[in-house]
């Protein structure tokens, strides 16, 4: 089984952030978004240096239960472990676009955005969710943040209330025809001929973790930085062998600190966390 601590160790040991060349050369990516997703998967699977396609497929099959769908979350599900949502920005501080899916503290099988296949790929009802946010240029990865959803996003009811209120207001419009939809609303037969319709979609965003947690970390002048925030309770739930994998890293540009972050559901409540950072000029 793999987990976030294994991925951190693999990224540090590999230390190659020219991800476009890496994945274009393996015919695995036509865009930086695809390259970033492949990089994250390989970091968790310990296949960052694996050239053999069959070996990599076997590692994926052993460690992952779901590898994502273009329009449905998540991008990765670890078998018996966490889920991962990969997000790309081309400017360091840009907000994260979530489109029609509101921010998620965790991943649950009752989420209407999930496919039936992802719900049935293993026996599960709820998974902790990791947001993996990469700042990329046209060729390389400049920074990568790993943040757990339950210290980044509020509980679902916070966002669902807004969505429900908007949907209720839309359906109160008289003399129009509505249809069932996963979006905010859909109005059919708007004109006299009944040939025009209106889809009403939410376009959710969330602030970049670089800005949300700027009280913990400020950008450096290194060519690459890895920043990870893990609730201490979650960190201690990982196997001791996994914790030793990162605690035994002896690099001047690597550090683990005990910090506190604000609870997204009640900012006066502080959550104990581990802040893990790595810097590189490669």
6-51 pLDDT, tens digit per residue, is 999 999 999 999 999 888 877 777 789 999 999 999 999 999 999 9
H runs (alpha helix) in 46-155? 53-63, 116-120
pLDDT over 80 at 282, yes or no: yes
Contact 224, 143 (CB under 8 A): yes
Structural domain contains residue 9? yes
State the average pLDDT over residues 113-124: 94
Structural domain contains residue 68? yes
Q: According to the model, what pLDDT value does residue 174 have?
A: 75
Rounded to whole angstroms, the Cα distance separating 61 from 64 reads 6
Residue partners of 87: CB distance under 8 A and separation at least 6 = 96, 97, 131, 132, 133, 134
Burial (Cβ within 10 Å: 0-12, 13-18, ≥19) of residue 157: exposed
pLDDT over 90 at 179, yes or no: no
Sign of CA dihedral 133, 137, 140, 143: negative
181 — pLDDT class (breaks 50, 70, 90): confident
Structural domain contains residue 159? no
Q: According to the model, what pLDDT value does residue 167 have?
A: 78
60 — pLDDT class (breaks 50, 70, 90): very high
- Domain of 246 in residue numbering reads as 4-154+203-280
Q: According to the model, what pLDDT value does residue 50 have?
A: 94
Least confidently predicted of 71-75, 142-146, 190-194: 190-194
Average pLDDT, the chain: 93
Structural domain contains residue 182? no
pLDDT over 80 at 171, yes or no: no
Which H or E run contains 179? none
From residue 119, give the alpha-carbon distance in Å to each of 58, 77, 129, 207, 277: 22, 11, 15, 28, 33
Rounded to whole angstroms, the Cα distance separating 84 from 2 reads 12
Structural domain contains residue 23? yes
Contact 182, 112 (CB under 8 A): yes
Structural domain contains residue 135? yes
Structural domain contains residue 181? no
151 — pLDDT class (breaks 50, 70, 90): very high
Strongest mean pLDDT among 177-181, 189-193, 239-243: 239-243
Domain count, the chain: 1
Which of the pair, 199 or 45, is modelled with greater confidence?
45
Q: According to the model, what pLDDT value does residue 194 have?
A: 83
Structural domain contains residue 117? yes
116 — pLDDT class (breaks 50, 70, 90): very high
pLDDT over 90 at 136, yes or no: yes
Rounded to whole angstroms, the Cα distance separating 146 from 232 reads 14
Q: What is the pTM of this model?
A: 0.93
């Amino acid at each position: 089984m793999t987990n976030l601590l294994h991925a951190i160790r693999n990224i540090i040991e590999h230390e190659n952030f020219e991800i476009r060349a890496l994945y274009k050369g393996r015919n695995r990516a036509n865009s930086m978004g695809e390259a970033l997703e492949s990089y994250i998967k390989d970091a968790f699977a310990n296949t960052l240096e694996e050239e053999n396609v069959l070996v990599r497929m076997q590692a994926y099959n052993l460690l992952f239960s779901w590898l994502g769908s273009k329009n449905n979350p998540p991008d990765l599900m670890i078998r018996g472990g966490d889920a991962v949502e990969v997000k790309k920005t081309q400017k360091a501080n840009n907000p994260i676009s979530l489109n029609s899916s509101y921010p998620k503290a965790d991943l649950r099988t009752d989420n209407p955005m999930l496919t039936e296949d992802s719900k049935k790929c293993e026996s599960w009802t709820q998974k902790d969710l990791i947001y993996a946010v990469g700042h990329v240029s046209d060729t390389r990865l400049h920074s990568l943040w790993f943040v757990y959803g339950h210290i980044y996003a509020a509980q679902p009811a916070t966002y669902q209330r807004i969505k429900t209120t908007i949907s209720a207001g839309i359906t109160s419009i008289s003399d129009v025809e509505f249809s069932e939809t996963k979006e905010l609303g859909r109005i059919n037969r708007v004109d006299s001929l009944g040939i025009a319709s209106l889809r009403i979609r939410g376009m959710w965003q969330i602030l970049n973790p670089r800005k949300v947690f700027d009280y913990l970390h400020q950008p450096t002048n290194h060519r690459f930085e890895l920043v990870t925030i893990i609730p201490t309770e979650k960190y201690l739930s990982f196997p001791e062998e996994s914790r030793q994998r990162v605690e035994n890293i002896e690099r001047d540009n690597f550090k683990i600190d005990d910090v506190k972050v604000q609870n997204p559901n009640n900012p006066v409540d502080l959550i104990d966390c581990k802040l893990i950072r790595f810097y590189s000029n490669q």
